[in-house]
Amino acid sequence: MDKRTSTGTAIGKIILIGEHAVVYGEPAIALPFPATKIKTTIYERKGPVLLNCLFHQGLLTDAPKKLFGLISTIEKIVESIGKRLYDFSIDIESSIPPERGMGSSAAVAVATLRALYDYFQIPLTREDLVSWSNISEKIVHGNPSGIDAAIIIDEKPLYYIKGSPPVPLDFKLDAYLILGDTGEASQTKTTVAHVKRLMDTDPEKYGPLLKKLGLLTERTKISIENRNPKNLGQIMSNAHHILDQLGVSNKILNKLVTVAIENGALGGKLTGGGGGGCMIALASSEKEANLISNNLLSNGAKNTWIYNMGVGFHGR
């Protein structure tokens, strides 16, 4: 008899605008990023559960602390469905750079959830997927907005307000999005805690900045609906300036945003938690996108991706 094998997949994501402000009830817009993916495969085998991933190869129980969110979620799921944490292995393949604000932790959780439920032949509802993913994200990030799990599960551009159902966006823009990786880990948990301290100590000063980010998100939605990449680029740059004022950018992010704009980008900003991670820039043509990409690489970016926004986004 053949041994059981099950797989689950998930893609990466990019927050176009609204990061950090979304934690405080302001809207954010996120995009699926299918150029990067996670694949989790579960194999039937005898003995204790093994985990094979970027950060650990060996017994699941020996996994490092940074995987605690995933491991804890796996343990709780298996317990909740009345199964034993035994006699299988988990293999996780990823093309999403970890700790870059591209939704790696949420994508790993989603792919692994899908694989686990399939392996144990239990129907997986969207509600269960969202619930378990958010449990994992809360352990990893402390106070997540929920946007990562939502965008990765639905694989559609989403307009999102914390605590409300995400609203799909009809997103098709005659422009190119360039993603640049600083090579530095995004400090999401740290930067979220930093903004919380700012809000706790001086809400009159920092609250209006988060409100401005919310207004810029609303303007972004209008620019998308009107298919106006020039306006969107300007909004992105304005948002980056505010995020820098909040102290969640850093020298390399600021440098790469400046390089992009100096080489013809319509605008640019950090994406995700900040403190490292990735930045995005908008270009009006593929030729300009390639020029910007090359200049980012020659000025410290470790990797770049270009996405044609004119082809639109398609979900599950």
Paired sense of beta strands 267-271 and 278-283, if any:
antiparallel
Q: Average pLDDT of 163-170? A: 86
d(CA 164, CA 249): 28
- What does each C-alpha distance from 187 to 25, 29, 130, 141, 304 come to in angstroms? 21, 20, 23, 9, 20
Both tokens of residue 137?
A: 């994200």
Q: Average pLDDT of 18-46? A: 92
Residue 25 clears pLDDT 80, i.e. is over it: yes
Q: Which residues contact 199 (CB under 8 A, 6 or more apart)?
A: 24, 206, 207, 210
Res 156: pLDDT? 87
DSSP for 119-166 reads: HTT----HHHHHHHHHHHHHHHHSS--SHHHHHHHH-S-EEE-TTS--
CATH code, residues 171-311: 3.30.70.890
Res 313: pLDDT? 54
Is 62 a known active-site residue?
Answer: no
Please pick, among 62, 87, 148, 244, the residue that the annotation labels catalytic: 148
Q: How large is the C-alpha radius of gyration of the chain?
A: 20
Is the dihedral angle over the CA atoms 50, 56, 62, 65 positive or is it negative? negative
Residue 129 clears pLDDT 80, i.e. is over it: yes
Q: What is the DSSP-derived secondary structure letter of residue 211?
A: H
Neighbours of 245 (CB within 10 A): 14
Alpha helices in the chain (DSSP H): 68-80, 104-119, 126-141, 147-154, 188-201, 203-225, 229-245, 251-262, 286-298
Q: Is the pTM of this model over 0.85?
A: no
Could you read off the pLDDT of 58-95 as tens digits, one per residue? 999 898 888 888 888 899 989 998 999 999 999 999 98
User: pLDDT-derived band of residue 186, with 50, 70 and 90 as boundaries?
Assistant: confident
Q: Which CATH class is domain 5-160?
A: alpha beta
Res 1: pLDDT? 44
Boundaries of every domain in the chain:
5-160, 171-311
